[in-house]
Structure formats: C-alpha cells, structure tokens
C-alpha cells in the first residue's frame, strides 16, 4: 500500500468510525452533486468521445462510476443483511460499456444510490461492522468505510469529468 493509499485508508477508518450514517450519506450526496455538475458540463454531442487517445470518454467514466457503485453498494447491502461478501471482480470482468447520455447515467446512479441510502439510513450504525468488504487498493473495509469510499470515488471521477469537459469545450 502506498503512502497515499494509507492516508486515504486512515481517513476512511477515522471518519467511518466517527460519522453517523446520515452524515456519511450527506457527504456522498454532495460528491454526487459535483459529479452531476461535471457530467453536465461535457458537451452532449461529445459525451462518448475521449479527449485524447488512451483516455476515457465521459460515457466510460460514468459507466465505471455506476458499475463500481453497484459493486460496492451490493457489498454494503450484503454486510447489512448479514450475508457473506460477494465475489471480488477484477477490471476485465466488468460488463461492456453501453452508450448513454449524462442524464441517463445520472438517473441510473440516483436510482441505485437512493436504494442504498435508504438501507444505510435504516441500519443500526454499529451493526455488522465486523463484516468486511474487499477493496483492491484499501484492503478490507466495513460498510461505513465503504460508503465513504464511494464518496471519494465520486469526487475522483468528478475531477476526471471536469478535465474531460474542459478539453472538449476548448477544442473543436
């Protein structure tokens, strides 16, 4: 684990232990707002266009955000329901990316997240913290830490979308 990964893991552990689920959900909602603004800033006609060779398009970024959100959301739900962790997927096992508009991806994300938030908000904050959800960089996380990770993930990809929007809005 790199120093940066250790720093982020420390944040996830400290804030996951300190913040009640409603505060964590609010932080994720705020990150989703930045993601929403960034996705909407990408020119709609160029949403599936990569800003440069080898880079992701905004469509690919949003597909990844939705897919990762579903994966980690499922882990959180399984933990809260007392079920064993699901299988960890690797990048080459992810589904093919479909082409959707920013608003379509965001509607899917909203739908997925609202179900996750509803369940997290009903949960006993101390319930099932011993059950771990595997993350490729940060190791084993409990459900509250994983929910906070979703926030960091959204913010990271909002920044990526902001760069894509800038690149595509400044060149023909």
Q: How confident is the model at residue 91 (pLDDT cuts 50, 70, 90)?
A: low
The domain limits of the chain are 3-170
Mean of pLDDT over the chain: 90
Give residue 121's Cα distance to chain centre: 18
CA distance 136 to 138: 6
Q: Which helix (H) or strand (E) holds 107?
A: helix 102-122
Give the model's pLDDT for residue 134: 78
Q: Could you read off the pLDDT of 122-138 as tens digits, one per residue?
A: 998 888 877 788 777 77
Q: How confident is the model at residue 172 (pLDDT cuts 50, 70, 90)?
A: confident
Give the model's pLDDT for residue 88: 62
Q: How confident is the model at residue 19 (pLDDT cuts 50, 70, 90)?
A: very high
CATH 1.20.58.220 correct for 3-170: no
Give the model's pLDDT for residue 68: 92
Give the model's pLDDT for residue 114: 96
Backbone angles phi, psi at 22, to 5 degrees: -60, -35
Give the model's pLDDT for residue 66: 96
Q: Could you read off the pLDDT of 146-166 as tens digits, one per residue?
A: 999 999 999 999 999 999 999
pTM (two decimals)? 0.91
Q: Which residue has the higher pLDDT, 15 or 89?
A: 15
Q: How confident is the model at residue 96 (pLDDT cuts 50, 70, 90)?
A: low
Residue 104 has a CB neighbour count (10 Å cut-off) of: 14
Task: Let me know: does 96 contact 142? Beta carbons within 8 Å.
Answer: no
Task: Let me know: does 100 contact 42? Beta carbons within 8 Å.
Answer: no
Among residues of the chain, what percentage have pLDDT more than 90?
Answer: 70
């Amino acid at each position: 684990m790199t120093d940066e990964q250790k720093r982020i893991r420390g944040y996830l552990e400290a804030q996951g232990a300190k913040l009640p689920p409603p505060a964590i959900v609010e932080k994720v909602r705020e990150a989703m707002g930045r993601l929403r603004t960034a996705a909407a800033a990408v020119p709609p006609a160029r949403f599936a266009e990569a800003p440069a060779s080898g880079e992701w398009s905004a469509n690919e970024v949003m597909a990844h955000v939705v897919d990762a959100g579903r994966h980690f959301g499922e882990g959180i739900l399984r933990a809260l329901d007392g079920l064993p962790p699901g299988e960890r997927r690797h990048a080459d096992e992810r589904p093919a990316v479909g082409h959707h508009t920013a608003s379509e991806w965001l509607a899917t994300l909203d739908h997925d997240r609202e179900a996750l938030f509803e369940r997290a908000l009903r949960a006993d904050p101390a319930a099932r913290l011993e059950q771990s959800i595997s993350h490729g960089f940060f190791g084993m996380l409990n459900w509250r830490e994983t929910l906070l990770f979703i926030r960091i993930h959204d913010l990271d990809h909002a920044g990526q979308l902001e760069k894509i929007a800038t690149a595509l809005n400044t060149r023909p």
